[in-house]
Chains A and B, each alone.
Chain A
Amino acid sequence: MNVSQPLIRLENVAKVFYTDEVETHALAGIHLDIKKGEYVSISGPSGCGKSTLLSILGLLDSPSDGVYMLGEKPVQGLDFSDRARIRNQEIGFIFQSFNLIGDLTVYENVELPLTYRNMSATERKERVQNALEKVGMAHRMRHYPSQLSGGQQQRVAVARALAGKPLILLADEPTGNLDSRNGEAVMELLQQLHREGATICMVTHDERFARHADRTVHMFDGKVVEESVEVG
C-alpha cells in the first residue's frame, strides 16, 4: 500500500433507510480517512449515526451513496461473499455485548473466525494461543463464557478480533456493558494494542474513553461535525 494512502477512506458516504415510504437519512456526506496505525474514536449522542457508520466500516451494511475504499480497493459494491471474506480477513470486531457464543469454549470462540479460512489446525492453534496470551486469557481457554466475568469476556472478544490479524479493529462501545474498573482495563488493552501498531476505530459515547484515541470524530445528526486530535 502506498504510505500516503489512508487505510480507510470514506468519500461523501450517505445512508438512507426507508420505512413506510419515509426516508431517514442516517448518514449524510461523510468524509473520513483512517490511517494505518491510527486510533480513531467516533463519538456523539444516541441516534447520531455512529453505529451505522461503524456498520458500514465493518461491511455489515452498505452505504446508499458515496465511496468506501479499504486499502486501495473500493468495497461499497461488493457482494455478500466478498464482504464476508473481507470481514473475516481484514476486519476485527469488538462488540459492546461481547457476542461470544455461549456453547463454545474460550478457545473455540477465538478460533471461530479462523475456521472460516483455509487455515491449518496447527496455525489456528498458534494464533489462538498468541491472541489469548496477548489479552491475558490463555489460562482460561477451556472455560465457557458463562464462567467468565464481563471484563474477561470482553478480553476474549478482543482476542477473537486479534486472532485473524486484521487490518483494523472496529470496536462498538467496547466498555458499554462493563463496570468502570473493567472498562478501564479494556481501554488499557486497546491502548496497548495501538502502541503495538494496531489500527483501531472505536465508537463510544463516553468522552473519557474517547480521549484514549489519537483522534476523535464527533457526529451529530448523521454528519461529522468536529474532529479533534488528542495531544500528548
Chain B
Amino acid sequence: METLLQDLRYSLRTLRNSPGFTAVAVLTLALGIGANTAIFTLINAVMLKMLPAQNAQELVVLGDPTAAHSRSMGTPTTELFSYPLYRELRDRNAVFSGVMAAGEMHKLKVTRPSGEGVTDDALGALVSGNYFSVLGVNTLIGRPLTDDDDKLPGAHPVAVISYSLWKQKFALSPDVLGQSVRLNGYPFTIIGVTPQGFYGQVVGDVQEVWIPIMMQAQVMPGRNWITESAAAGNHQHPENVSWLNVMARLKPGVTVEAAKANVNLVFKQMLEGSYGAKLTSDDLAEVKKNTIDVVPGARGLSELRGDFQKPLYLLMAIVGLVLLIACVNVANLLLARASQRKREIAVRLALGAKPSRLVRQLLTESVVLAFFGGAFGLFAAMWGARVLLKVSSLDTVKNGLEVQPDLKVLAFTAGICVLTGLIFGLVPALRAVHVELNSTLKSQAQGNGGSGGRGWNWGKLLVVSQVGLSLLVLFAAGLLVRSLRNLQNLDVGYNRQHLVLASIDPVAAGYNKEQISALVPELTQKMARIPGVQAASVSAMGLFSGIESANTVKVEGFAAANDRDKVAYFDRVAPDYFKVLGIPLLLGREISAQDREGAPVVAVINESMAKFYFKNENPVGRKFWIDDEEHRNKPILVVGVAKDARDRQLRGEVRRRYYLSITQPEDDLGSAIFEIRTVGDPEGVTNSVRSELKNFNSAIPINSVRTLDYLVDNSISNEIIIAKLSSFFGGLALLLASIGLYGIMSYTVNGRTKEIGVRMALGAQRKNVLWLILREAMILVVAGIAVGIPAAIASTKLISSMLYGLSGSDPVSMAAVILLLGSIAVVASYIPARRATKVDPMVALRYE
C-alpha cells in the first residue's frame, strides 16, 4: 500500500513536470473515454435504467416491452392487450400479486375550468386503478389512484399529475389537490402528485397525467374501448382494440418462467371460455396461434429499447475502436517518453529495482493519466450525451431520457480508465525496462527511443494499427452514410418534394361516419384553395404515418399456398389521390367521386398485388374479397392498377396493397390524413394548413401537419442517427490517427535530424527530404490500409442488415475512405516533413 502511494505521488510529480505531454495525453484520452462514456450514458438511460419502483426486480411485462407507442385495431394481439383481455388476465392468474395496465394518450389538452389552457401537448396515461400499487409508487402529496377509482365507466374523473407539471403549471402549490382541470374538455379533479423523477412505466417518456382507464371514453370522445355498449363497427369492439401495456408484480417465490406458463394456461382457458366466445371465429383462430410473453420488467417498457438497441451497441463498438486509437496515441507518446527516461530507468535498475516493480510504477503513471483523461472525459460525456440525445431526437417523446451520470456510468468510466491505462501503458512499460544498462549509463545522449529512426519499431507498428482501426471505423461510417444516401435518394414512385401531410381526428370531435364522409371532401377543397397549394387529396392511412392496415383476402382465380399469400395491405383514399401524389396508373381508372356509399365497392390495386394475384392477366374487372365472416359476400371490384409506391417504409419489398374509396367506409374512419401538393416550399404552407383546419372547426384535434420529407426522415431516423454519429466518431478516429501519425513522424524527424543533415550535405534538395519523410509516412499508411481492408470487410458483416443498396465490401466507400485517409495522412505528415526540410545541415552535423 505504501509503495502504491509512493508510486502515485511519483506519478503525479512526473506528470506535473511534463505539462505538454500530460496535456496532450489527457486530451486524447478525454476524447476517447468521453465518447465511450457518452454512448454508455445513453445505453444506461435506454437499456439499463430501472424504473423508480419499489422492488423493481419483482416486476414483469406481459407482451412486448418495446411496443409502448402502438395500438392495434382488428384481430386481438398478445403484444398489446385489449381491456377485456387485460381484465381476464388480471382476475384469473395465480402468479401475480397485482396486474396493472396502462395506455398512453398523446397531445392531451389540459385546461383550467376558466378555459385557460395549461398545456395542449401533455402526455397522459389511462391506467388501471392498481397502477401505482403494482409499481410500488406513492404520491408526494395527495393520494394515488386506487381500484375504487377504476370500477365503473365514467364514474371517477380523478387525476394524478406529475411533479414537473405541478412545478411548471401549478407553482408547487399544495392547493392543487382538489383543483379541477379539463382533460380534452372533460372535467377532472386532481387528487395527487407523483414524486420527482417518476415519469411512468415507459422509459424515455415523460408522462404527466394519470387517469383511470374507466375514463377512456370521456377523454377520447367518439371511441369506447372499455364497454360493449358504445361499440360502433367491428373494429370498435373492445376485444378488437389492443392498446394497453400490461405489467405485473410476481408473487413471492414465483419465477418469470412459472409466471409465463401460468399466464398462457389462463390465456388458453380464456379462449375456450367466455372471452373466446366474444371473438369472431376468424379472430379466435388467429389468436389461438399466439402465446403471451412474460419478461422481466424492472426496466419498464421502452420503444426506444427496441429501436435503439442495435444502433447503440454498434456505436459502442465504434467508440470502443476510437478509444483504442486514442490508447495507441498515448502508448506512442509513452514510448517516445520512455526513450527520454532511459537513463532514469537504467539508474533505477542499477540501484537494484526489480523490472516488475518498475513496470508497476510505470503502469501506475498510465492509470493516473487515464483517470485524469477519464475525469475530463466524464465532463465531456455529460455534455456530449445531451447533444447525442438532441441529435437523435426527432420525436419529442424521446426527450424524457435521463442522461445524468449515475453510479453505473461512474463505475463504467472508472473501469474503462483502469483498462485504458493498462492497454496503453503495458507495451511502453515493458519496453522501458528492457534497457542495456552498461551502454545506457555510459551514454550521454538521450538515446533513440522506440519510435525514431528508420525501420520498423513498436511506435510505427502502433501507427499502422491505428490507421487500420481508423479505416475500420471510417469504412463502417462510409457504408452507413452511403446506405442512408441510397435510402434518401430512393425512387418512392411519386414526387416526394412539395408534399404536406395533415392528420386530423374528427372522431374525437364527435363526428360520426356520415358527418366524416361529408367533412372530408369539404376540407379537401379548402386545402386545395390555400395559396401555394397545387392540389389536395385525402386518405385514411397517409404516407409514412406509422399507421398500417392489412386484411386476409380471397382473390378470384388465385389459390393461396399459405396464410401469408392471403395478406394484402390496404388504404382508403379520396378521388384524385393518385393524381395528387403523382403515382402513375398503369391500367384502368383511379378512385373517383362516383365511388360513394351504395355504389359497388371498388379498389385500385398496386402493381405488386396485381402481379402476385393475377400474374400476367389484366386485373381490371376482376374481384376479390376480404376473407372474414362479415365480408365474404361483399366482392371488391378492381377498377385500376397503380404503379408501386413506397408509402409506409423505404426498406424492403413494396407490399401488396389495395386502395378503397374513402367514401365507401366499412368502419369509422380513425383519422383523415390530407395529402397536400404545394407549388413551392412545403414548410411555408404548414401554418396556413393549420389555420385553415382550426378555422374550420377548432374542436377537431390536429394530430400533425408535417412535410413528407420530415415523415420520411422520421421513418429512417435510426439510419440518420447512426450515419451522423458514426461519421462524427469516424472523424474523431481520423483526427486521433492523424495526431498519431503527426506525432510519430515528428519524432522520426527529430530522431533523424543528423541523417537529414548528412543527406543535405551530400546534396539532397528540399524536395528529396520532403519526399523521404512523406514516403515513410505513406508506407505506414499503406501498411495500415492493407491491414485495415480485410478487417473492415470482415467486420461489416455485423452491420450488413443496416445497409441498403450496397454490399459490405462496397468499393466506392472503400476507395473514398482510402482517399480520405491518404489525404489526411499527407497533411498530418507534411508538417514534420516540411520541418525536416528546414534542417540546417551544418547544425545537424554538429548535433552529436
List A residues at the B interface (Cβ < 8 Å).
55, 58, 60-61, 80-81, 84-89, 93, 95, 97, 99, 101-103, 112-113, 116-117, 160, 164
Q: Are A116 and B842 in contact (CB under 8 A)?
A: no
B747 to chain A, nearest CB (A): 16
A102: chain B residues at CB < 8 Å are 453-454
Q: Are B841 and A60 in contact (CB under 8 A)?
A: yes
The 8 Å CB contact of A116, one of B758, B762, B848, is B762
**CA A160 – CA B758 in complex, angstroms?**
12
* Residue B273 lies at the interface, judged by CB distance under 8 Å to chain A: no
B765 within 8 A of A: yes
Which 5 A-B pairs have CB atoms at the shortest separation, nearest pair first? A88-B763, A103-B454, A113-B762, A60-B842, A99-B758
- Closest B residue to A100 by beta carbon equals B758
**Is B754 an interface residue, CB under 8 A from the partner?**
yes
CA–CA, A196 and B570, complex, Å: 102
Contact yes or no, A81 B758, CB < 8 A: no
Q: Contact: A103 with B455, CB < 8 Å?
A: yes
Question: What chain A residues lie within 8 Å of B758 (beta carbons)?
Answer: 95, 99, 101
Partner of A58, one of B454, B761, B766: B761
Residues of chain B within 8 A of A116, CB atoms compared: 762-765, 768
On whether A160 and B766 interact (CB within 8 A), knowing A103-B453, A103-B455, the answer reads no
Other A-B pairs, 20, CB within 8 Å; known A87-B760, A89-B763, A93-B762? A60-B761, A60-B842, A81-B765, A84-B760, A84-B763, A84-B765, A84-B766, A85-B763, A86-B763, A87-B762, A88-B762, A88-B764, A95-B845, A99-B758, A99-B761, A101-B755, A101-B759, A102-B454, A103-B454, A116-B765
For the complex formed, measure the closest distance between the CB of B794 and the CB atoms of chain A, giving whole angstroms.
Answer: 34
Cβ-defined partner of A93 (8 Å) among B754, B761, B768: B761
Bound complex: CA A101 to CA B754 (Å)? 9
Q: In the complex, which residue of chain A has the Cβ closest to the Cβ of B455?
A: A103
Return the CB mask of B813-848 against A: 1 if under 8 Å, else 0: 000000000000000000000000000011001001
Question: By the criterion CB–CB under 8 Å, are A97 and B841 in contact?
Answer: no
Measured CA separation A86–B762 after assembly (Å): 9
For residue A99, which residue of chain B has the nearest CB? B758
- Identify the closest chain B residue to A85 (Cβ): B763
Query: Closest CB-CB distance, B748 to chain A, in whole Å?
Result: 12
Q: Which of B453, B455, B762, B766 is within 8 Å of A80, CB to CB?
A: B766
- Which residues of the partner chain B approach A113 to less than 8 Å between Cβ atoms? 762-763
Closest-CB distance, A181 to chain B (whole angstroms): 24
Which of B455, B758, B765 has the most chain A CB atoms closer than 10 A to its own CB? Answer: B758
> In the bound complex, do residue B845 and residue A60 qualify as a contact, i.e. CB atoms below 8 Å apart?
yes
Minimum CB–CB distance from B34 to chain A (whole Å) comes to 40
Least CB distance, B716 to chain A, in whole angstroms: 53
Interface residues of B in 4-32 (CB under 8 A from A): none
Residues in chain A near residue B754, CB distance under 8 A: 99
Contact B454 A81 (CB under 8 A): no
A sample of 17 inter-chain contacts (CB < 8 A) reads A60-B841, A81-B765, A84-B760, A84-B764, A86-B763, A88-B764, A93-B761, A95-B758, A99-B845, A101-B758, A101-B759, A103-B453, A113-B762, A113-B763, A116-B762, A160-B762, A164-B763
Q: In angstroms, how far is the closest chain B Cβ from the Cβ of A123?
A: 16
Q: Which residue of A lies closest to B761 (CB)?
A: A93
Q: How far is the CB of B768 from chain A (nearest CB, A)?
A: 6
Report the minimum CB–CB distance from B749 to chain A (whole Å): 15
**Chain A nearest CB: distance from B81 CB in Å?**
75
Residues of A contacting B453 in the complex (Cβ-Cβ under 8 angstroms): 102-103
Q: Mark B757-789, 1 if CB is under 8 A from A, else 0.
A: 011111111101000000000000000000000
Taking CB atoms, residues of chain B closer than 8 Å to A80 are: 766
Produce 1/0 per residue, B441-463, CB < 8 A to A: 00000000000011100000000
**Among the interface residues B754, B755, B841, B848, which one has the most CB atoms of the partner chain A within 10 A?**
B841
Q: From A89, which residue of chain B is reached at the shortest CB distance? A: B763
Interfacial chain B residues near A99, Cβ < 8 Å: 754, 758, 761, 845
Please indicate the chain A residues that have their CB under 8 angstroms from the CB of B842 in the complex: 55, 60-61
Q: A125 vs B135: C-alpha distance in the bound complex, in angstroms? A: 88
* Residues on A with beta carbons closer than 8 Å to the beta carbon of B768: 116
Q: With A and B bound together, what is the CA distance between A101 and B842 in angstroms?
A: 16
CB distance from B31 to the nearest CB of A (A): 34
Q: Which residues of B contact A97 (CB under 8 A)?
A: 848
Task: Please indicate the chain A residues that have their CB under 8 angstroms from the CB of B764 in the complex.
Answer: 84, 88, 116
Max chain B CB contacts within 10 Å: which of A60, A102, A112, A164?
A: A60
Contact B763 A81, beta carbon cutoff 8 Å? no
The interface residues of chain A lying within 8 Å CB-to-CB of B761 are: 58, 60, 87, 93, 99
Q: How far is the CB of A32 from chain B (nearest CB, A)?
A: 19
Chain B residues within 8 Å of A86, by CB:
763
In the bound complex, residues from chain B placing their C-beta under 8 Å from that of A101 are 755, 758-759
> Residues of B contacting A60 with CB < 8 Å?
761, 841-842, 845
In angstroms, how far is the closest chain B Cβ from the Cβ of A119? Answer: 12
- Closest Cβ of chain A: how far from B840's Cβ, in Å? 8
Q: Measured between alpha carbons, how far is A60 from B765 in the docked complex, in Å?
A: 13
The distance from the CB of B795 to the nearest CB of chain A, in whole angstroms, is 35
- B120-164 vs A, CB cutoff 8 Å, 1 = contact: the mask equals 000000000000000000000000000000000000000000000
Question: Could you say which residues of chain B place their CB within 8 Å of the CB of A93?
Answer: 761-762
In whole Å, how far is A26's beta carbon from the nearest beta carbon of chain B? 12
C-alpha spacing A131/B641, complex, angstroms: 89
* Distance A58 CA – B760 CA, assembled complex (angstroms): 11
The answer to whether B762 touches A112 (Cβ under 8 A) is: yes
Counting chain A CB atoms within 10 Å of each CB, the highest count among B762, B766, B845 belongs to: B762
A93 and B763 CA atoms in complex are apart in Å by 10
Which A residues are CB-close (under 8 A) to B765? 81, 84-85, 116
A85 contact set on B, CB distance < 8 A = 763, 765
CA A22 to CA B759, docked complex, whole Å? 32
A95 to B848, CA, bound (A): 12
For the complex, give the distance between the alpha carbons of A103 and B764 in Å.
17
What CA separation (Å) do A94 and B315 show in the bound complex?
A: 59
Closest to A58 in B: B761
CA distance A99 to B842 in the complex (A): 13
Which A residues are CB-close (under 8 A) to B766? 80-81, 84
Bound together, the chains give a CA A101 to CA B845 distance in angstroms of 12
Q: How far is the CA of A99 from the CA of B755 in the complex (A)?
A: 8
Chain B, Cβ-Cβ closest to A55: B842
Q: How far is the CB of A116 from chain B (nearest CB, A)?
A: 5
Residues of B within 8 A of A88 (CB): 762-764
State A97–B844 Cα separation when bound (angstroms).
Answer: 13
